[in-house]
């Protein structure tokens, strides 16, 4: 039996392939769209059984080519660009593709674990997996929300496990191909390495400069939660996947800079000192993001914990220290 990972050459997908490898799984079918060919590097140190383009995979799946050969699909493939303006593309790629996979999985007793997103909550401040708290701000968030709604309607009559995981702000290894959509941890590291300073947004949404707050979650924790549900097919539903903490962009910047300083044998510095020295600076909030920006997120993990996942989540300081150690070993890259 094979495990399929869609978006396998992407950020979370590649980390899932690696995590599966680390526990001895190599019967993996990697599915992706390598129009951006450089993503292949994310899989270069991984073991897979086969690679298929995402459109070819769907055609072969519907043709019955994998009858009784697939035990689970870890569906991570999506357009994650929150600034994407082509709604038809977004809905076709994110929503309709996911519906087709889900229907096939339900009809063939295949577990489906898929990536949802905290973007479904929009500008709200309550992050609980219930409809009244969901109001996406862009078509990306809407595509994720709409599929969650489709899943909710079929859950009472499901014939195979289905788990949606609402990722909050994920950071960690194998995201360098994402460009401007990479995490702030990655961008802060690249800025500090090339310029000796990091740039944060000025105040917005009622928050002071750099005090906007996000739930930053390490990709290692994201992989662990996915594997937990893969190991417990008796559990289905939609769950938040974050650290459960709201930490500021200032805290993230200080964590990145101080992790770099530690690697250089230098002591940590307080945020106020970093600002005074110009190591942390603030830039004007982009007009294109006004009304489309989440200034605060914090995952409510009550449902996840009730589903049996009890391991602690890394804080920004813990996760960034490990991430920067990995990044320091890589060649310098432009931001």
Looking at the annotation, which residues are catalytic? 140, 178
CB neighbour class for 94 (10 Å; exposed up to 12, middle 13-18, buried from 19) = buried
Tokens of 233: 């097919």
Contact 53, 32 (CB under 8 A): yes
- Rounded to whole angstroms, how far apart are CA atoms 154 and 66? 24
In which residue are the tokens 């990145």 written? 256
CB 219 within 8 A of CB 323: no
Look up residue 207 and give its DSSP letter.
B
Q: 193 near 332, Cβ under 8 Å?
A: yes
Residues 6+ apart with CB under 8 A from 142: 136
Q: Nearest to residue 243, comparing CAs of 314, 172, 167, 323?
A: 314
**Burial class of residue 51, CB neighbours in 10 A (0-12, 13-18, 19+):** middle
d(CA 251, CA 276) in angstroms, rounded, equals 16
The DSSP-derived string for 128-169 is -SSGGG---SSHHHHHHHHHHHHHHHHGGG-SS-EEEEEE-E
Q: With beta carbons less than 8 A apart as the criterion, state whether 187 and 232 touch.
A: no
Q: What are phi and psi of 73, to 5 degrees?
A: -120, 125
* Residue whose token pair is 């076709």: 92
């Amino acid at each position: 039996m094979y495990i399929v990972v869609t978006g396998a050459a992407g950020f979370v997908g590649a980390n899932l392939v690696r995590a599966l490898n680390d526990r001895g799984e190599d019967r993996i079918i990697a599915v992706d769209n390598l129009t951006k060919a450089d993503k292949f590097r994310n899989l270069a140190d991984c073991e897979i059984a086969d690679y298929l383009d995402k459109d070819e995979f769907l055609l072969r799946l519907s043709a019955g080519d994998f009858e009784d050969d697939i035990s689970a699909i870890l569906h991570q493939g999506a357009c994650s660009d929150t600034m994407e303006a082509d709604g038809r593309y977004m809905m076709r790629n994110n929503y309709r593709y996911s519906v087709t996979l889900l229907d096939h999985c339900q009809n063939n007793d295949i577990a489906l674990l898929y990536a949802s997103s905290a973007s479904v909550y929009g500008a709200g401040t309550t992050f609980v997996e219930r409809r009244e708290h969901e109001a996406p701000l862009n078509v990306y968030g809407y595509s994720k929300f709409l599929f969650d709604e489709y899943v909710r309607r079929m859950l009472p009559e499901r014939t195979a496990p289905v788990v949606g995981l609402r990722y909050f702000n994920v950071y960690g290894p194998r995201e360098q191909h994402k460009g401007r959509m990479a995490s702030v941890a990655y961008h802060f590291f690249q800025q500090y390495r090339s310029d000796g300073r990091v740039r944060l947004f000025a105040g917005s949404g009622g928050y002071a400069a750099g005090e906007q707050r996000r739930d930053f979650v390490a990709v290692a924790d994201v992989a662990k939660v996915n594997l937990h549900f893969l190991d417990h097919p008796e559990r289905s539903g939609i769950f938040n996947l974050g650290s459960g903490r709201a930490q500021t962009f200032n805290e993230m910047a200080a964590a990145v800079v101080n992790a770099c300083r530690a690697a250089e044998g230098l002591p940590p510095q307080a945020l106020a000192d970093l600002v005074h020295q110009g190591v942390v600076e603030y830039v004007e909030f982009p007009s294109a993001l006004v009304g489309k920006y989440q200034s605060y997120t914090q995952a409510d993990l009550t449902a996840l914990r009730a589903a049996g996942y009890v391991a602690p989540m890394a804080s920004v300081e813990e996760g960034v220290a490990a991430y920067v150690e990995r990044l320091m070993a890589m060649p310098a890259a432009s931001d």
